[in-house]
Amino acid sequence: MTDFTPEQDSDDDLYEHYTFTAEKGQQPLRIDKYLMNFIENATRNKIQAAAKNGSIYVNDVPVKSNYKVKPFDVIRVLFEHPPYENLLTPENISLNIVYEDNDLLVVNKEAGMVVHPGHGNYSGTLINALIYHFDNLPNNSSNRPGLVHRIDKDTSGLLVIAKNEETMTHLAKQFFDKTSEREYVAIVWGNMEEDEGTIEGNIGRHPKNRLQNTVFYGDDEDKGKPAVTHYKVLERLGYVTLVSCKLETGRTHQIRVHMKHLGHTLFNDERYGGEKILKGTTFTKYKQFVENCFKILPRQALHAKTLGFTHPKTGKFMRFDSEIPQDMQQCIEKWRHYVKHQEM
């Protein structure tokens, strides 16, 4: 499995932003194409420019963008500045705070907002907003102020933020011990066979496309970490289904990966192929209808609707619920209208 380590320390006045070790089965592939599969938001032009500037090293030697990657090559991307995600800048961005006290706050994040800075998203993130509005937030194990958990950029919904170390430790333990409650609502492609069920499948980084995760099973299951999602059908809408997903674990892209594994990719989930018409008819009118749905909901159809946890100070269990956002609601209404007027 390819090794992937972002954000290493610097040496010789250069800062290592990424390092990869090519797999033993790696076929010869230009390094600019290779890195596009591994670095989020990277364009081929940017990679070629980095190579031209001598920023891409293979086995400690700078290479040009036409270098062909071979098995076991150690590839490092170095720049003269530290990774931007390590340089946090407070930004006056308004937050939708649904609850706040001296120990924590609960935020309803809108779709499109990145939770923490990373490659290609160095400003406008939730953390940039948090460190502007709040002083002395505790760092989590990844040195990210206040963050107990995260949701993807294009997923909307509820997050709890810790204001002090004690709260951070207490809440992190609840998430680890699976005593917190997290329910998401999703629109998925296809008419699900079962009304409810549980998906268990170890999740890890996809060996070929490092921007995706995938389910590993059988002899390969140790390549992933255990992940459990409980789902329940809320409404059947012909070629798509509205589902509730409760997380027992919190792996990266867990619902998106588990649903795809089940054969029900999230509606308009571009990273996992849900932006294609995966179910339905070949009629032009239907194609136009789906494309209109994509325009209304230009992101994966996923919302973190309910969040529950025990308050670290009071010991009281708190549950927060949020409305399904407008874009998702409009998409659901369009499908309801479609089903009502069509012979499925």
**How many DSSP H helices and E strands does the chain contain?**
7, 19
Q: What does the alpha-carbon distance between residue 120 and residue 150 come to, in Å, rounded to a whole number?
A: 18
First-to-last CA distance in the chain? 44
The number of residues in the chain equals 344
> How far is 199 from 182, CA to CA, in rounded Å?
15
User: Within its chain, how far is the Cα of 315 from the centroid?
Assistant: 31
321 is catalytic: no
Q: Please answer whether residues 38 and 210 qualify as being in contact, where contact means their C-beta atoms are separated by less than 8 angstroms.
A: yes
CA distance readout (Å), 60 to 25, 72, 73, 76: 21, 13, 10, 8
Task: Return the DSSP state at 222.
Answer: G
CA distance 254 to 228: 8
Cα(40)–Cα(205) distance, integer angstroms = 13
Paired strand residues for 199:
229
Q: At what angle do helices 284-296 and 326-340 cross, to 10 degrees?
A: 160
Helix (H, G, I), strand (E, B) or coil at 233: strand
Distance CA 259, CA 268 (A): 13
Active-site hit among 32, 73, 152, 269: 152
Q: Which residues are catalytic?
A: 152
